Structure 1
Amino acid sequence: MSTKKSGETVRWLEPEEERAWRAYRRMVIAVQARTAQDLAELGLSEADYEVLSTLSERTGTTSTLHEQAAKMEWSRSRLSRHATRMEARGLIRRAPDPADGRGCLLILTEEGMDTLRQAAPVHVASVRRHFVDRLDPRELAALGRTAARIAEPGSSPGT
């Protein structure tokens, strides 16, 4: 079945495609909800953890707001609002970006690093419990390859 929208033909999903899509969505929602719940018990959101872990891996525990927003696929304004909340909690601090007069740097504080050190083992255990340990090594490898291909912009089979 196909319909036209704005001059384009829409290819509807075949039953097997729809089953795969819905299974994928259920998986993502379940894993995200479960790992988010485990982080919430530590007073962190998934976004908090992403910012903290990314900054911990960067030289000088610093990143530009622009780079971090791109990594998270967030708008700069959305991340800026989130950074304001994290800054109020003492997890990060902001400083002017000397390379971009309109930008800012996100800098991991010692409190943020301590929080990450406490959260990382809990998060890894959560990821293992809700994701890794539910797959055998072949399934995990196949899912990793599939996820990498899907995450690559503009990818399709054979590219």
Structure 2
Amino acid sequence: MPATSECPSEIDDLETSISARFEAVVKRNPDAIAVSHHGRTWTYQQLNRRADEIALAIQRHDASDTPVALAGDTSITMVAAVLATFKLGRPFVFIGPELPDSRSEYLLKTTGCHCVYCESPEHQRGVFRQLDLKILGPDSEVDFNEAQDPLPTPGPDDHRILRVTERT
């Protein structure tokens, strides 16, 4: 049933968190295409499951409320990783492959990240180890069906993206 003024949609409620809005879309259209990039396509259900697995891995290894670094290329896996941070109510810092190590180090120190989710092993950098960050990746993900830890329920104000700039 479409949303009307008599039957408001969670998707249209400005007080509803991004992750709750996304969950509402998943319930309505689980098999619809959510994201497609370079020949790979995921449905809303697949994207949601992957985001839940990444969120659980992050939560198990770093239960703080500090930003999470995301290292990778533009891909559907990184879309799932961003959604995972929304599900946790935590900000994220994107560390793209083109960033020099000095800039990555500045961003990670300034934002206080404790962990980094790397899309693949080639996205791991020496600076992550130098800063003693917990390095997570596909091997550290948790099967959501076997998970014992529930994901937190963030509120609408928990979602934030950090923008860090350098003054020169």
Answer yes or no: same fold by TM over 0.5: no
- Report which structure shows greater RCO (CA 8 Å, sep ≥6): 2
Q: Which has the higher helix share?
A: 1
